[in-house]
Amino acid sequence: MNIFRAAIVVLSVFWAMNAQAAADANAGKEKAGVCAGCHGTDGNSANPVWRKRAGQHADYLAKQLADFKSSKRNDPIMVGQSAALSDADMANLGAFFASQKTSAGSADKEKVALGEKIYRGGNSASGVAACIGCHGPTGAGNPMAKFPALSSQHAAYTEKTLKDFRSGARANDAGKMMRNIAAKMTDEEIAAVASYIQGLH
Ligand code: HEC
Ligand code: HEC
């Protein structure tokens, strides 16, 4: 009898875990109402400092929200925005924004040559790794490897976040992957690659 009861308990735990694992984009859409003021209703923010959320990998989005909530990643606005979100909310929000299409942007003609050089080949003299190695030829990233999508992102956001990695203000990258790269980049290289990424899709 006890074994039978224990089996039921174990089974119901599995059922509960399965229910949680299946993220619900519709529930995420409802939660996303409060995000719209800054990130846009479909995650394509109009204001360039508010990161476009559309088309990003669901797990990457959920990780960023969890990092803001635990203050592993600091931003006065987002730490507040994520405080009341549960793990399920974060997974649902990730699923919703991942299902939206990113709006295309364009690169600044003056900066595109240097930006493309860095993105595709890095800078061997200073040891900057080529972005393409992890973020892919079109900036789609690689969800299995947890490399986020960058395509069409606002240049101003990319520039800010690369400078935050460089100064250590943003330090939530596993194995310091991005901090080590940004540390070797000049302001000019950061601005150029950010502009190139805005036109990449
Ligand atoms: C008042 C404006 C505002 C609101 C409302 C807001 N955000 Fe943000 N969000 C920001 C800003 C600013 C940043 C950039 C933070 C930084 O520079 O590190 C950001 C960053 C993010 C990031 C990380 C971006 C990345 O690519 O790593 C995620 C994910 C995010 N927001 C999701 C949400 C969600 C989900 C909601 C709603 C629950 C929301 N935000 C509500 C302003 C806002
Ligand atoms: C070795 C793999 C690797 C290489 C090479 C790499 N990145 Fe990354 N990048 C990552 C990972 C992993 C993250 C996610 C960090 C996190 O979890 O917060 C990231 C995050 C980013 C972000 C933040 C995205 C967002 O939405 O906030 C930007 C911007 C970025 N990388 C730009 C670049 C640029 C530009 C280069 C080339 C100069 C580059 N990366 C090279 C692995 C890499």
Question: What is residue 176's DSSP assignment?
Answer: G
Second-level CATH architecture of 25-98: Orthogonal Bundle (1.10)
136: alpha, beta or left? (left if phi > 0; alpha if psi -120 to 50): left
Ligand 2 center to 179 CA (angstroms) = 9
Q: Where does 112-198 sit in CATH, by number?
A: 1.10.760.10
Q: How confident is the model at residue 106 (pLDDT cuts 50, 70, 90)?
A: confident
What is the mean predicted confidence (pLDDT) over 125-152?
Answer: 95
Separation of alpha carbons 182 and 174, rounded Å: 14
pTM over 0.85: yes
In which residue are the tokens 């150029």 written? Answer: 192
What pLDDT digit, counting tens, does each position of 59-98 carry? 999 999 999 999 999 999 999 999 999 999 999 999 998 8
- Domain 25-98 and domain 112-198, same fold? Reply is yes
Which bound ligand lies closest to the C-alpha atom of 61?
A: 1
Ligand 1 center to 58 CA (angstroms) = 14
Ligand 2 center to 178 CA (angstroms) = 5
Residue extents of the structural domains in the chain: 25-98, 112-198
Which bound ligand lies closest to the C-alpha atom of 36?
A: 1
Q: Which protein residue has the closest C-alpha to ligand 1 atom 24?
A: 51
Q: Which protein residue has the closest C-alpha to ligand 2 atom 34?
A: 131
